[in-house]
Amino acid sequence: MKKVLVIGAGGQIGTELVIELRKRFGNEQVIAADVKDECSEALKTGPYVKMDVLDKEFVRSYIQEEKPTDVYLLAALLSATAEKHPEFAWRLNMEGLFTILDLAKEGYIQKIFWPSSIAVFGPTTPRDFTPQYTVMEPTTIYGISKLAGERWCEYYFNKFGVDVRSIRYPGLISYTSLPGGGTTDYAVDIFYHAKKTNSYTSFLNEESALPMMYMEDAIRATIELMEAPKENVKIRSSYNLAGISFTPKQLGDAIANEKDGFKMHYAPDFRQAIADSWPKSIDDTSAQNDWGWKMKYDLTEMVKTMLENVDISKLN
């Protein structure tokens, strides 16, 4: 019987992932875990446990007791925040991964999902239609931790047969939970400001093309990869996922098509240098060929859905 544990369930991906997993496998089968004492309303439909992924003893004893079949390990510091707290980011992004990989190696977990990111690429990577296999010299702490994590995942698969699966997420766009501390966050913030003030000041310049993806597609990709037959999962580092590539200007124009008079302004900050080191677009042929990945949301549909659904009371 499937029993799923989602660590980092309170974050941008975690909240929507738990909701979808509970729809598919039943509320009681999906345990949400996060560092906060209490979970949000959205997660109250099933079990919740307070868990600090750095508390190795607690994580080990909880998993040994509960024996989840599948663990999604989402707890991490994203790119912009990680630059401000490099040592903590390295610890958080790596130590939790080792704890979970070791538990799987010891037979307590059957399958692991661990998220990687386009941040594994760097300024020496070809930036257009970035291939699955290419030069990888990330220059951010977050990117370095994700690349190291990918190598460890593949190592645990090759050496110990640990069934670990991963996606290099592009920037993720959603309205249920706010993103926290990423370089791609502008593409979510913009919708709140568009609704509230009909204008937005982007912290990336107008020409910064980055790959992005609507959350519903990202959640579907995650579950499709986790449910794919083992032999189809040929890449055990992490799969490229393309999503939709656009610049802040293109996103602003798409919003202006829906909202008369919407105005964009630009005030690039330290996140510009991070964006400049990342791919503009991604080649995800391997994901398409290996486990049948196909994206649904394009820019127009994503913009319409976001404008309809963002709740501006979430913006302080």
- Write out the residues near ligand AKB by the rule CB under 6 A: 78-79, 117-119, 142, 169, 171, 182-184
Among 184, 187, 200, 173, CA closest to 267: 200
> 142 catalytic, yes or no?
yes
Number of residues written out for the chain: 316
Active site residue: 72, 142, 156, 169, which one? 142
For ligand AKB, the closer CB: 78 or 162: 78
What are the E-state strand segments in the chain? 4-7, 30-34, 48-50, 70-73, 111-113, 116-117, 164-165, 167-169, 171-173, 199-202, 210-214, 239-240, 244-246, 263-266
For ligand AKB, the closer CB: 32 or 188: 188
Neighbouring-strand partners of residue 130: 282
Q: Output the smallest distance, CB 275 to ligand AKB, in A.
A: 8
Q: Output the smallest distance, CB 73 to ligand AKB, in A.
A: 15
- Structure tokens of 304? 């319409």
Residue of this chain nearest to ligand AKB (CB atom): 182
Residue pointed to by tokens 């020496």 = 124
Rounded to 5 degrees, what angle do the CA atoms 14, 18, 19 make?
120
Q: Output the smallest distance, CB 78 to ligand AKB, in A.
A: 4
Q: Output the smallest distance, CB 280 to ligand AKB, in A.
A: 13
For ligand AKB, the closer CB: 48 or 186: 186
For ligand AKB, the closer CB: 46 or 171: 171
Give the whole-angstrom CA distance, residue 293 versus residue 284.
Answer: 8
Give the whole-angstrom CA distance, residue 145 versus residue 149.
Answer: 6
Taking every pair of C-alpha atoms in the chain, what is the biggest distance, in angstroms? 59
For ligand AKB, the closer CB: 25 or 169: 169
Q: Output the smallest distance, CB 274 to ligand AKB, in A.
A: 8
- Report the catalytic residues: 142
